[in-house]
Structures are given as structure tokens and as C-alpha cells.
Amino acid sequence: MSDQTGLDANDAYGGRKPTSHESRAGQPWDASYIGEPAPWDIGRPQPAILRLAREGAFAGRVLDAGCGTGENALELASLGLRVLGVDVAETAVSMAREKAQARGLDASFVVGDALNLGHLGERFDSVLDCGLFHSFDLDAERRAYATNLAVVTNPGARLFVLCFSDSGPELSPHPISEGELQETFAPQCGWRVISIAPDRIEARFAVEGVPAWLATAGRTRGAGS
């Protein structure tokens, strides 16, 4: 895919409003996947996601929100789960599709905005968010995200969020507190937090991983029911 240089704002962001992170970075998420691998793209599933999968945490139709190049979604597909990966970065989605074809896995990937999921036209029983939530810096973005997830999930659905943590001596980019998770995935947005546990996220800049939260939330009969 060609470089974003020279594109006007409407083309670069696909006609959508840039997120707070994109505005601060001065470029769309897609630029992160052009050239060298993105810092968070480790070329394999995150260990925490592998553990959840082994425990049978995912069921039914699965949405991978912010799927990147698809490693987590493809792992779930290899277990026989029906997975749809969504990402705003067209280059990442193209790479995920190529991986699925090369590995002979039945997983679907679409370009889409996690703050506007109504276009998907379907509902899900499980949601995976690996590294997306902590990229939303504004409370309004976080609430819009949680509400959009509620709109496309069935009551009783499970949401698993792996995000950077504000806990521990190591500095995490975009640190998130337990309170922020509780405030976002609240009944008024269609969710109820079930658990929040310390975990780690591996990255190219931290092979041993950095502190993270693994949060589990259940879909209530709030927004989108």
C-alpha cells in the first residue's frame, strides 16, 4: 500500500474523524503498518490470549476489535471459532487476510472504525480487545467505544480487554487504571466488569512484556439490547 504522504486528511482517515491518538501523532493508524513492523506487532498471539483460549473463554461468534495483522484472531480461528477481525488500518487488515489465506484458516477481516461498529450488521457472543482500549485517550472516546461494542453484542456476551496498566515500577505507554476500566465498562454503556487481574503485554520494545490489566466484562441488557 502506498505511503500516506501527500494525502489530504479526508483520504488519510477514510472520511472519519481522527482519534485523539491519531491527532497527537499527526498520522493515521495505517501509517504504523507501513515499513517496519508496528511496535505492538510481535508476529504471534499474546500469551494472555493463548491462555484465555486454552481455558475456553471464547464462545460463539467472536469479534476481535482492533485486530491489527490478525495473530490473535487467527489463533482463535485455528481452534474452530468463528472470528471477525476489525481494524481501522487498511494495511493491517490486508496483512491479516493474507495470513489467513496462507494458513488455510477461516477468519474474516474488515476495515472498520471501533467507534462506529453499526455497519457490521451482526452480533457477537465474545469480544477480544488486545491493545485497543488503551489507545483511546478521551473519556468520550472510551464511552463511545464501550457503547458501540454493546450495540453489536448479545446480552450475556463476554468482553476480554488486555490493556497497559498503571501498576508496577515499569513505565507502560498509555497506562490505564482499574478505575478507568470500571468507569468505562459500566451498566450505562451496556457492560458490567466481572474481574480485573494483573497480566503482561509483550511488545517489540519489551520482549519480557510490560504491566497490563486483563479485564473481563459481561454484556448487560443496557445499550443496544
To the nearest 10 degrees (0 to 180), the angle between helices 71-78 and 47-54 is 20
Residues forming a β-bridge with 139: none
> Residue 223: pLDDT band by 50, 70, 90 thresholds?
low
Q: Does residue 126 have a pLDDT over 70?
A: yes
- pLDDT, residue 11, reads 59
Q: Does residue 68 have a pLDDT over 70?
A: yes
Q: Does residue 162 have a pLDDT over 90?
A: yes
In a domain, 55, yes or no: yes
Give the other-Cβ count within 10 Å of 10's Cβ.
Answer: 9
- pLDDT, residue 3, reads 35
Largest pairwise CA distance in the chain: 47
* Domain CATH for 161: 3.40.50.150
In a domain, 60, yes or no: yes
> Residue 9: pLDDT band by 50, 70, 90 thresholds?
very low
Number of domains in the chain: 1
- DSSP letters for 144-188: HHHHHHHHTEEEEEEEEEEEEBS-SSS--SS-B-HHHHHHHSSGG
In a domain, 200, yes or no: yes
Mean pLDDT (whole number) for 52-56: 96
Q: Does residue 222 have a pLDDT over 60?
A: no
CA distances from 77 to 45, 83, 89, 150, 178 (A): 12, 6, 21, 23, 30
Q: Does residue 7 have a pLDDT over 80?
A: no
In a domain, 19, yes or no: no
Q: Which three cell numbers stand for residue 154?
A: 448479545
pLDDT tens, position by position, 11-38: 567 778 878 778 777 788 899 999 888 9
Query: Could you list the residue range(s) of the whole structural domain that residue 66 is in?
Result: 29-219
In a domain, 3, yes or no: no
In a domain, 198, yes or no: yes
> Residue 120: pLDDT band by 50, 70, 90 thresholds?
very high
Least confident of 32-36, 86-90, 159-163: 32-36
